[in-house]
Amino acid sequence: MNKRIVIEGGKQLFGEVSISGAKNAVLKLMAAALLIEDVCLIHNVPDLSDVETMVSLINCLGAKTKYSKLNQTIEIDARDINNCVADYAYVSKMRASFDVLGALLSRLGEAKVALPGGCAIGERRVDLHIKGLQLLGADVAIENGYVLANGNKLKGVDISLSMPSVGATENIMLASIFAEGVTRIQNAAQEPEIVDLANFLNMAGADITGAGTSEITINGVQRGSLKGIQYSTIPASIEAASYMCAVCAVGGEIIGDDIIPSHLTFFLNKMQEIGVKIEPITPYSLKVKKDKRLKAIDLITQPYPGFHTDMQAPVMSVLALADGTSIITESLFENRFMQVPELRRMGADIQQENSKAIIKGVEYLTGAEVKASDLRAGAAMVVAALAANGTSTISDIHHIDRGYEKLEEKFSNLGANIKRVENFENISDNKTIESKVLL
């Protein structure tokens, strides 16, 4: 765990960056492939540690996978799924693996899935997942840290979520694919990842309508009727936003390729409000230019299509340098300001009052030793370090590796001075740094 990302800040960014496939989409497609008694080929798969964890998990359930990092594909043969137990060793590492609960229940009529892990950004309950499965007719219990679900004959029903939970919407969709009759999910999450999951399943033969709106309807189809398909994952809008934040913080002009701008509407509007120039180049690429000091703004995170909570931390690094006082209100997760003490170490002036962060923009940040406390807080550290005067070292970068493919390579190509160092020893100990640079 002695790896660090080392950044010499202050170099403006110029050039083109290609955005990878979306982690939070592909992991759910991999869970959905468990419903298909056939072979599926998923394209545009990012090279991320979370994808490797999901590969290990579905292999353990009986799938046969061929993951080609070179071709960015995963072939999943789920004909012989035979194990309904998703072990703690996998599920504790990431929240998305909890989606195998609905998939295994659908496919095998039973599931035993460890309660999930993922970033420690809040309580992250699973009560809505469980209530949804119970309404479909499953018996669900929690024992020894596992959710046990049983139900061979699930029945379609109307399910109204008390909040539009992404994971609960997905688990209910997956559980109801073979349920008898019609399932309606009201107050469903509307994220692009939900639409991607529905498109994937529909292409395989499921009957889902309304994904992307607040009401999703699933007409149950025959178990065993889904067919193998080829499918390409949507691009990662959070990764795209993170690169745009970097140019907003440090300055320069970049073109982001392989972006779906409509997935980023709220974010792009906010970036324009603070004074960044954004111009479409093609339907799937955007030019982002920052040539003057940005203005402070207020924003509140909300379920999609509102301002995405995952973009909040990197945007905070931008606002730390803006002219004036900004207020960010985090309305989804209780513990999503873990970047605040780290940004303060770099000279940011941020006060936290419960769910609000009050950010008084400073003229400059200074390089420091900081840590990536979670995935998106890690992105915030990278953005701040790129803009800071001097050298920053970021520790706990395994969080960053969960969600950012080839981060150092992509930023180096834009002109940043960034490298990954293995066997890092603290410079302040006055020891020689013996390091192996991994670019």
- Residue span 147-176 as binding mask against ligand UD1, x where in contact by CB under 6 A, dash where not: ----------------x-xxxx--------
Among 19, 22, 126, 159, binds ligand UD1 (CB under 6 A): 126
DSSP-assigned states of every residue in 217-230: EEE---TT-----E
Q: Smallest gap, in angstroms, from Cβ of residue 82 to ligand UD1?
A: 26
Tokens of 63: 């799938």
Is residue 112 part of the contact set for ligand UD1 (CB under 6 A)? no
Residue showing the smallest CB distance to ligand UD1 in the complex: 167
93 and 117 in contact (C-beta within 8 Å)? yes
Pairwise CA distance, residues 97 & 322, whole Å: 38
Nearest to 182 by CA among 217, 226, 222: 217
127/158 with CB nearer ligand UD1: 127
167/252 with CB nearer ligand UD1: 167
Sign, CA dihedral 200-202-206-210, equals: positive
Kindly indicate which of the ranges 71-79, 122-130, 313-321, 365-373 contains the residues binding ligand UD1, using the contact rule CB under 6 A.
Answer: 122-130
Q: Smallest gap, in angstroms, from Cβ of residue 262 to ligand UD1?
A: 17
Kindly indicate which of the ranges 64-72, 116-124, 143-151, 430-438 contains the residues binding ligand UD1, using the contact rule CB under 6 A.
Answer: 116-124
Applying the rule CB under 6 A, the residues between 332 and 361 that interact with ligand UD1 are 332-333
DSSP-assigned states of every residue in 24-49: HHHHHHHHHGGG-SSEEEEES----H
Pairwise CA distance, residues 415 & 417, whole Å: 7
Tokens of 389: 């005067």
Residue 359 CA to chain centroid, in angstroms? 25
Is residue 216 part of the contact set for ligand UD1 (CB under 6 A)? no
Residues facing 273 on adjacent strands: none
Among 72, 190, 285, 309, binds ligand UD1 (CB under 6 A): 309
Residues facing 358 on adjacent strands: 327, 351
Is residue 310 part of the contact set for ligand UD1 (CB under 6 A)? yes
Active site residues: 119
Is residue 438 part of the contact set for ligand UD1 (CB under 6 A)? no
Q: Smallest gap, in angstroms, from Cβ of residue 355 to ligand UD1?
A: 11
Nearest to 393 by CA among 342, 348, 351, 434: 342
Among 4, 124, 399, 420, binds ligand UD1 (CB under 6 A): 124
Nearest to 254 by CA among 283, 309, 291: 291
- Residue span 8-37 as binding mask against ligand UD1, x where in contact by CB under 6 A, dash where not: ----------------x-------------
Is residue 224 part of the contact set for ligand UD1 (CB under 6 A)? no
Write down the number of H helices and E strands in the chain.
14, 25
Applying the rule CB under 6 A, the residues between 311 and 330 that interact with ligand UD1 are none
Pairwise CA distance, residues 23 & 402, whole Å: 8
Pairing of strands 215-219, 182-186: antiparallel
79/125 with CB nearer ligand UD1: 125
- Residue span 178-207 as binding mask against ligand UD1, x where in contact by CB under 6 A, dash where not: -----------x------------------
Is residue 125 part of the contact set for ligand UD1 (CB under 6 A)? yes
Pairwise CA distance, residues 224 & 247, whole Å: 48
Q: How far is CA 284 from CA 19, 62, 257, 261, in A?
A: 10, 37, 6, 7
410 and 244 in contact (C-beta within 8 Å)? no
Kindly indicate which of the ranges 103-111, 120-128, 315-323, 393-401 contains the residues binding ligand UD1, using the contact rule CB under 6 A.
Answer: 120-128
Pairwise CA distance, residues 275 & 289, whole Å: 9
Kindly indicate which of the ranges 117-125, 147-155, 203-211, 406-414 contains the residues binding ligand UD1, using the contact rule CB under 6 A.
Answer: 117-125
Q: Smallest gap, in angstroms, from Cβ of residue 401 to ligand UD1?
A: 15
Which residues of the shown chain bind ligand UD1 in the complex (CB under 6 A)? 24, 95-96, 122-129, 163, 165-168, 189, 309-310, 332-333
